[in-house]
Amino acid sequence: MAHTRISLDKALELARTGDLWVFRGRSAPDRAIQVTTNSPVNHVGMAVVIEDLPPLMWHAELGRSLPDMWSGTHQRGVQLHDMRDAVCVWAARYGQRAWLRQLEPSATREMEDAVLRTIARLDGTSFPSTARLAGRWLRGRLPSPRRAARNGATEGTRNGAIDRALETAYCAEVVAVTYEAMGLLPAGRRPNWYDPGRFWSGDNLALGGGHRLGGEIAVDVPGGESP
């Protein structure tokens, strides 16, 4: 992991749509995810920073301590949170260390529109049970036929396939589906091929359209553990 360090205030100032937040915790479930995915991280979320809106984080979690900014309710599963509040909860309450990875070059207006359409479709999707989550990780590593999108399906068909695949969703699937809608990841992979470890720098995830993700920038969060 990179040694660059910044404050949470600076991270919020720098964050742009498509940037990633990755987290590492010490609890037994956190360690299980890290071991299963062979990576140092166990949670991933995506920044949504559009016009005059406050910086937001798009991710999935079991908790419902924060209001969802899309629905206006407290809910479990796929959620859109105030970014500062979300990072503070994951760092201070859940004991997670936080890093920011920036998308280069920045997302275009068309990409941001695709993000908003994805949020409208998936916000509120349930989080899978622990047992189902483990099974999905394992199935995601097995060979599978390409989805219809690989064979030239329309966007509507592709979105329908994604929605059926995500009757429940965990954090990495949400980021992957959103990146696919932005044109950053190829169509055709099942969402459960992705796990949090795919999104840390050691995995060298290839993005489309000349985009890349920068290295991890450690973020010091008040009340949280230092990365």
pLDDT tens digit string along 6-48?
Answer: 999 999 999 999 999 999 977 666 676 656 666 688 899 999 9
Per the CB < 8 A criterion, the answer to whether 56 and 215 are in contact is no
**Which residues, 6+ apart, have CB-to-CB distance to 51 below 8 Å?**
none
Per the CB < 8 A criterion, the answer to whether 168 and 132 are in contact is yes
For the residues 164-171, what does the mean pLDDT come to? 66
What is the reported pTM?
0.82
Q: Which residue has the higher pLDDT, 160 or 63?
A: 63
The per-residue pLDDT for 151 is: 40
pLDDT band of 157, cuts 50, 70, 90: very low
Rounded CA separation 165/167 (Å): 6
Would you call 131 exposed, middle or buried from its count of C-beta atoms within 10 A (0-12, 13-18, 19+)?
A: exposed
pLDDT tens per residue, range 37-49: 666 888 999 999 9
Query: Which fold is adopted by the domain 5-220?
Result: endopeptidase fold (from Nostoc punctiforme) (3.90.1720)
pLDDT tens per residue, range 77-121: 999 999 999 999 999 998 999 999 999 999 999 999 999 999 999
Q: How would you classify the pairing of strands 212-213 and 103-104?
A: antiparallel
Element (H, E) at 152: none
Per the CB < 8 A criterion, the answer to whether 101 and 216 are in contact is yes
Q: Which tokens hold the place of 143?
A: 């060979």
Q: How would you classify the pairing of strands 77-82 and 217-220?
A: unpaired
Per the CB < 8 A criterion, the answer to whether 59 and 45 are in contact is yes
Give the residue from 13, 168, 143, 10 showing the smallest Cα distance to 76: 168
Rounded CA separation 195/92 (Å): 23
Give Cα separations from 157 to 79, 90, 102, 122, 181 (angstroms): 24, 35, 30, 15, 12
The per-residue pLDDT for 63 is: 87
How many CB atoms are located within 10 Å of the residue 208 CB?
A: 12
Domain map (residue ranges) of the chain: 5-220
How many CB atoms are located within 10 Å of the residue 112 CB?
A: 19
The per-residue pLDDT for 187 is: 85
pLDDT at 161 over 50: no
Rounded CA separation 83/77 (Å): 16
Phi-psi region of 139 (alpha: psi -120 to 50; beta: other; left: phi over 0): alpha
